Amino acid sequence: MREEFNFEKLTVYQKALNLTNAIYSDTKNWPKDFAFSITDQLRRASLSIALNIAEGASRTKNEFRRFITISRSSCHECIPILEIASKQDIIDLKRKEEWREEIVSISKMLSKLKSSIS
């Protein structure tokens, strides 16, 4: 059986990975004009959510709480990017709302995780 780090068992971490994977897959088809701006920024912001959970889990409780805050900030960063992508007609409304709902869910889970770290 493969050993896991504790953070890998967190549902919020798994959801963050799934979101990032979906974003990477879907943005492959976005126009190349946006490759080094909104596409790259959305990918990096979504990836930052899971990365900060993982890195923070290896630190002290106070540091972990700070990394969770950074992770939540990355969730917030994704929202205006989705809005701009929608206004530029590179993402449809349905997909934007699906991602938005998932980001809000992850953000709430991170808030609860942060509160649970004493």
pLDDT digits (tens, 9 = 90+) for 24-43: 999 999 999 988 899 999 99
CA distance 32 to 79: 21
Q: How confident is the model at residue 76 (pLDDT cuts 50, 70, 90)?
A: very high
pLDDT digits (tens, 9 = 90+) for 49-71: 999 999 999 999 999 999 999 99
Q: Is 49 exposed, middle or buried (0-12, 13-18, 19+ CB in 10 A)?
A: buried
State the pLDDT at residue 39: 95
For every residue of 50-78, which 3-state class applies, written as one string?
A: HHHHHHHHCCCHHHHHHHHHHHHHHHHHH
**Model pTM score:** 0.94
- Using alpha carbons, list the distances in angstroms from residue 72 to 24, 35, 92, 116: 19, 24, 24, 15
Query: Which class does domain 6-116 fall in?
Result: mainly alpha
Structural domain spans, the chain: 6-116
State the pLDDT at residue 36: 85
